[in-house]
Structure 1
Amino acid sequence: MTNQQEKDITRRMSENIAGKFSYLASQLPGMKVKHLNGLQYVDCGRQSDTFNTVLGTPASTDDIAQITRYYQQMNRPAAWWFSEPTTAYAQALRQAGWEHEENEVGMHLSLTSQLQTKSDTVLSRIEYCDSLSHFQDFGRVLSAIFEPGNTVEAENIRAIYQQAGEHSASLDDRLIQLVGYFDDQPVSTATLYFHHNIAGVFDIATPECWRRRGFGSEIFYQALWVAQQKKATACVLQASPDGLNIYKKAGFISTGNFEVWNLPQNN
């Protein structure tokens, strides 16, 4: 892959992330999507850095100051995602109160050929989030990965998906969310966000007590199948270093890097 091809995929990946981060915020009451000099920042109205997100590279330290001031005045935590190295702005970010949280690897998979064999069938069923109860179950699974360490984040994630369920009739199929069940217990989740012909994969989650049983793998491969059925030509995702091998086995190729910085809530 040439440098230009990698840059193009990273750009399209960033566009997909922007759409996913802003989708619910643009659909649900009490949430805001704002823009500043090419930056997108989201205020979900709650204390959740899963949903309070900033995406993009600042044009100046003034941009950092303005974004930071907004969240601090609202007393909200936030996560800032960068698709480029933050070397030039790292000091300004730290001085403003941001902390480097993690690095993620961008990955992509072509969907123009047959997918690799999916994992074994271990889930009782997989449901689309198309009702209040399904969104509640999605929120219950996703929030569990933050407990017991961050109960505030977990509570707010559940509240947001409760709200999404209450407005599910107004949501369209740019966002598809799946819940996997084992004996009627929700145990795994996956999200697809479609932008043009690219499907972004997000929220592959299984609570600790249900891991190592294949639930996450099955719903992940189901998400890839759904993306292909929806005529997406490629899937993209962001993986932690610990998850790289899982996605490489599925045929994903590493493409670019992302840095995530966190702004804690004011005490």
Structure 2
Amino acid sequence: MTYGLQDLLERMDHNLAEHACHLHRTHAPMTVEESADILISDSGLADDTFNIVARARFTEQTAAARIDDVIAATRATKRPFSWWVGPTSTPNDLSQLLVKAGLPASDPESAMWIDLNETVNPTADNVPQLRVDMATEPKHLVDYAAVLGHGWDPPSTTLPEFVTRTADAALLDSCPAHYLVGYVDGEPMATAEVFLSAGVAGIYAVMTAATHRRRGFGTSMMAAALELARAYDHPIVVLQASAEGEQLYRTLGFHTSGAYLEHPIR
């Protein structure tokens, strides 16, 4: 592995935080508040998918006061937020402190990584009926949002609006995000995203339409995402996985090193 484990986890956390805010930076009234010890990304939408608190670097002495500050600031917006706590968040008991402050924790998601230079053929079997395209025009992003939004429970009504607002930046050659859409007979049925930041490729939004699950589309989308990361010379690939997803990613050669917890702020 190119990086030491602690360095890798720091890069993973940076990738997640930047993924949460990179489109916000140039789309007012979206905002990004970033200091040495916290990042707060606010889309202006009433959806905690796009309103994120991340990269907490509090000390034991400052944690209680800073937690109160962040909760007050986010609640003042009257919009929901999600606070992500990862393996490098500090202090080490941050998640417990957030629970004490009234922010319950979700089920943990595994922090996973793979080094494509040390893995033999980390690809899935090809699914002939699935055509995978990288988004190069607004229609691709509309299709991406349709599949991903309907895959959430409940389905997202704000994802199409977010995609519409940010499509211009998302389709720039300089954008670190690369969106993949899987089509069956011309209809969008699966998604994945590859986000290049902090020297690693983050994999996000691996989703298959409910009508087409358990046909190998998810593994094929992951294979396409890994191939894209390799093509962009980012052999270290990271992701956050549910308990169900972790089993799939292990079969592709991913390792688990810690976990992420999501704390909703309502």
TM-score where L is the length of structure 1: 0.88
Q: Does 2:259 correspond to 1:253?
A: no
Is residue 81–residue 258 contact of structure 1 (8 Å, CA) maintained in 2?
A: yes
After superposition, the CA RMSD in angstroms is 2.2
Is residue 85–residue 94 contact of structure 2 (8 Å, CA) maintained in 1?
A: no
The separation in 2 between residues aligned to 1:199 and 1:219, in whole angstroms, is 15
1:55 Cα offset (Å) = 0.8
Q: Does 2:100 correspond to 1:101?
A: no
Residue aligning to 2:232: 230
**Residues 57-79 of structure 1, C-alpha deviations (whole Å, 9 max, x = no match):** 35222221221122211111111
Identify which range, 219-228 or 65-74, moves more after superposition: 65-74
1:167 Cα offset (Å) = 4.4
1:87 Cα offset (Å) = 6.8
The separation in 2 between residues aligned to 1:243 and 1:90, in whole angstroms, is 23
User: Aligned to 2:238, what secondary structure does the other structure show?
Assistant: strand
**Residues 13-43 of structure 1, C-alpha deviations (whole Å, 9 max, x = no match):** 1111122111111233321111244211100
User: Aligned to 2:105, what secondary structure does the other structure show?
Assistant: strand
User: Aligned to 2:41, what secondary structure does the other structure show?
Assistant: strand
Is residue 14–residue 55 contact of structure 2 (8 Å, CA) maintained in 1?
A: no
**Residues 203-255 of structure 1, C-alpha deviations (whole Å, 9 max, x = no match):** 10112222111221111100000100111121011111111110000000111
Residue aligning to 2:148: 142
Residue aligning to 2:205: 203
Residue aligning to 1:25: 24
Unpaired stretches in structure 2, ≥5 consecutive residues: none
User: Aligned to 2:117, what secondary structure does the other structure show?
Assistant: coil
Residue aligning to 1:83: 86
Is residue 11–residue 198 contact of structure 2 (8 Å, CA) maintained in 1?
A: no
Which residue type is aligned with residue 156 of structure 1?
T
TM-score where L is the length of structure 2: 0.88
Is residue 191–residue 207 contact of structure 2 (8 Å, CA) maintained in 1?
A: yes
Matches within 5 A, 1:205-224: 205-224=207-226
Matches within 5 A, 1:60-79: 60-79=63-82
Question: Residues 168 and 7 from structure 1, CA distance in 2 versus in 1: closer, same or farther, beyond 3 angstroms?
Answer: closer
Question: Residues 92 and 232 from structure 1, CA distance in 2 versus in 1: closer, same or farther, beyond 3 angstroms?
Answer: closer
Identify which range, 103-112 or 6-15, moves more after superposition: 6-15
Question: Residues 29 and 131 from structure 1, CA distance in 2 versus in 1: closer, same or farther, beyond 3 angstroms?
Answer: farther
Is residue 131–residue 168 contact of structure 1 (8 Å, CA) maintained in 2?
A: no
**Residues 114-137 of structure 1, C-alpha deviations (whole Å, 9 max, x = no match):** 433422224442121221111111
Question: Residues 137 and 111 from structure 1, CA distance in 2 versus in 1: closer, same or farther, beyond 3 angstroms?
Answer: same
The separation in 1 between residues aligned to 2:236 and 2:152, in whole angstroms, is 30
Which residue type is aligned with residue 113 of structure 2?
H
**Residues 148-199 of structure 1, C-alpha deviations (whole Å, 9 max, x = no match):** x3x5xx0111211122224445462411111111111111111111124311
User: Aligned to 2:4, what secondary structure does the other structure show?
Assistant: helix
Decide which of 155, 164, 167 is 2:166's aligned counterpart.
164
Q: Which runs of 4+ in 1 moved over 3 A?
A: 84-92, 94-97, 166-171
Is residue 124–residue 184 contact of structure 1 (8 Å, CA) maintained in 2?
A: no
Give the length in aligned residue pairs.
Answer: 258
